[in-house]
Amino acid sequence: MSIAFFKGTFVSLKEANINIRTHAFNYGTGVFEGIRGYYCENQKQMFLFRVEDHYERMRKNSRIVHIDIERSSEELIEITKELIKRNNFKCDIYIRPIAYKSAGKLGVSFPRDHELCIYIIETESVDIPDKPVRSCVSSWRRTDDNMIPGSAKITGAYVNSALAATEARDNGFDEALLLNQDGHVSEASTMNLFMLKNKMLCTPATSHNILPGITRDSVIEMSRRELDLDTIERPISRTELYFAEEVFLCSTMREILSVGSIDNKTINGGEIGGVTKQLQTLFHEIVRAKNKKFKKWLTPVY
């Protein structure tokens, strides 16, 4: 039986339900995170990847939707570890904490009432992808910071991502790339973007309405420390991507994905680039506790 953390206690997943009048259900007024746990069979240990950074981001961003999470990041980590133990997970997992407006009344202004819940799903252990994804530039623009801040994982804002991702899928592509209101590249539907050009990694800056991803930050540090590659945060035009040496995407859920084509224009001959391969391999070594240089990113559970 799956167990969730709901309204301050541990309950069965089927008991963790909200009323249809809940403010967050009607208006998308919540903030969430996605956290990965990697189970290492040889050590009989579950490692949470950068869990403190995730909870710190969530606690900070929740204030945008007028939620003050009373629990500290350390307390949230302990709750998460206990939840994993109660479910006895011995596989890779994806953790979804949500802080949401819980009042059961209509009216778009933020009510005071809020709750925190955490649930976990099993994920398959995935090897390093052996082929890149096909992407397209979406006709939908990324929401601007003065509309709904893209720097926070606000639940209602992900309609923007859903529109772009569905359009890409319906047109035969794997992933959508969104431009901001100025026409520069922002990010993919749920992933940050990197471009290799002239032996330099480039990525859109936070001012281009991206989510400051934790995997993105990890890629920047891994590239600098292990590949001797610096990263420039700057505006990237759509056409620049067509002539890039490599393009890849990254996120907590999907890790690091190579882009083989954009708008049917081939990148790196449609193959996974050398830098992307190195980063994919390095990332898998880190999350599986095979690289001690980055052990600060891992929190053991058992």
DSSP 86-121: HHT--S-EEEEEEEEE------SSPPS-EEEEEEEE
CA distances from 116 to 29, 36, 74, 75, 140 (A): 12, 19, 15, 13, 31
**What is the domain-level CATH number for residue 266?**
3.20.10.10
Instruction: Assess whether 79 and 174 both reside in one domain.
Output: no
Residue identified by tokens 């050009």 is 197
SS3 301: coil
Instruction: Assess whether 175 and 150 both reside in one domain.
Output: yes
Q: 39: which 2 tokens?
A: 């189970």
Q: What's 144's DSSP letter?
A: P
Asked if residue 65 is part of any domain, the answer here is yes
Instruction: Assess whether 141 and 223 both reside in one domain.
Output: yes
> How far is it, in rounded angstroms, from Cα 132 to Cα 268?
10
Q: 240: which 2 tokens?
A: 């620049």
Per residue in 84-131, pLDDT (tens digit) is 999 999 999 999 999 999 999 899 999 999 999 999 999 987 778 889
Q: Rounded to 5 degrees, what are φ and ψ at 108?
A: -75, -20
Instruction: Assess whether 113 and 202 both reside in one domain.
Output: no
Instruction: Assess whether 79 and 144 both reside in one domain.
Output: no
Instruction: Assess whether 32 and 152 both reside in one domain.
Output: no
**What is the domain-level CATH number for residue 28?**
3.30.470.10
CA distances from 223 to 134, 188, 282, 286 (A): 24, 20, 10, 13
Mean pLDDT value of segment 292-302: 97
Q: Indicate the length of the chain as a whole number.
A: 302
Q: What confidence category does residue 1 fall into, taking pLDDT thresholds of 50, 70 and 90?
A: low
Instruction: Assess whether 171 and 266 both reside in one domain.
Output: yes
Do the strands 255-262 and 133-141 form a parallel or antiparallel pair, or are they unpaired? parallel
SS3 67: coil
What is the model's pTM? Answer: 0.96
CA nearest to 158, candidates 169, 170, 149: 149
Per residue in 188-209, pLDDT (tens digit) is 999 999 999 998 999 999 999 9
Among residues 122, 143, 159, which one ends one of the domains? 122
Instruction: Assess whether 117 and 143 both reside in one domain.
Output: no
Asked if residue 219 is part of any domain, the answer here is yes
Instruction: Indicate the number of domains in the chain.
Output: 2
Q: Are the beta carbons of 259 and 131 closer than 8 angstroms?
A: no
Asked if residue 292 is part of any domain, the answer here is no
Mean pLDDT value of segment 48-67: 97
Interaxial angle between packed helices 73-87 and 51-61, expressed in degrees from 0 to 180 and rounded to the nearest 10: 120
Q: What's 191's DSSP letter?
A: S
Instruction: Assess whether 178 and 76 both reside in one domain.
Output: no
- Percent of the residues in the chain that have a pLDDT greater than 90, as a whole number: 96
Q: Which domain holds residue 46?
A: 3-122
Instruction: Assess whether 140 and 276 both reside in one domain.
Output: yes
What is the gyration radius of the CA atoms in the chain, in angstroms? 20
Per residue in 208-260, pLDDT (tens digit) is 999 999 999 999 999 999 999 999 999 999 999 999 999 999 999 999 999 99
